[in-house]
Amino acid sequence: MNSLSHFDESGASRMVDVTAKAVTPRMARAEGGVTMLPETLTLILDRQFSKGDVIEVARLAGIQGAKRTSDLIPLCHPLSIESIKLSIEPVGDRQLRIEAEVSLHGRTGVEMEALTAVSVAALTVYDMCKAVDREIELGPIRLVEKTGGKSGHFLRGDDGSTS
């Protein structure tokens, strides 16, 4: 296992120096779920919330979250994201599946941005629906795929395994 890169030799926190890294295409995909009562999902899909279209508000919140990741996670680099795609789809009668894909040309990866996009979108669904369903559950939220950089391609298998 590699050492943790966000600590120097003395154990002090640091932002990783990426100045010597090459600019390469980078992409990351993350996913997560929001599980709720079937009646809550029906209200969402029928656009019956007085606060607005839950899916579209959550999509915009997730995009905004990805763009603001370095404001939320102390050692993340501010990045010039070139693309954010966020999908929110029903799965069965109790769940929304959220997937974010973030990409750019840069010196560091966008895994944190993709994970933040999914997290913020899921939290937004919770916020908009909590008045009618206190049993909403978020997660799991996980990295699905990443490309670019020294560590190369990462792809999680359907069974949760990684390659």
Annotated catalytic residue 127: yes
d(CA 159, CA 145): 14
Phi, psi of 7 (to 5 degrees): -130, 140
Instruction: Please report which confidence band the pLDDT of residue 161 belongs to, taking 50, 70 and 90 as the band edges.
Output: low
Predicted TM-score of the model (pTM): 0.91
Residue 34 to residue 106: CA distance in whole angstroms = 31
- Which of 17, 53, 93, 127 is an active site residue? 127
Q: Is the pLDDT of residue 147 over 90?
A: yes
Average pLDDT of the chain, as a whole number: 93
- The yes-or-no verdict on residue 112 having pLDDT over 50 is yes
| 29 Cβ contact list (under 8 Å, min separation 6) | 99, 100, 101, 102, 114, 143, 144, 145, 146
Residue 48 has pLDDT above 80, yes or no: yes
Do you know the residue count of the chain? 163
Q: How confident is the model at residue 20 (pLDDT cuts 50, 70, 90)?
A: confident
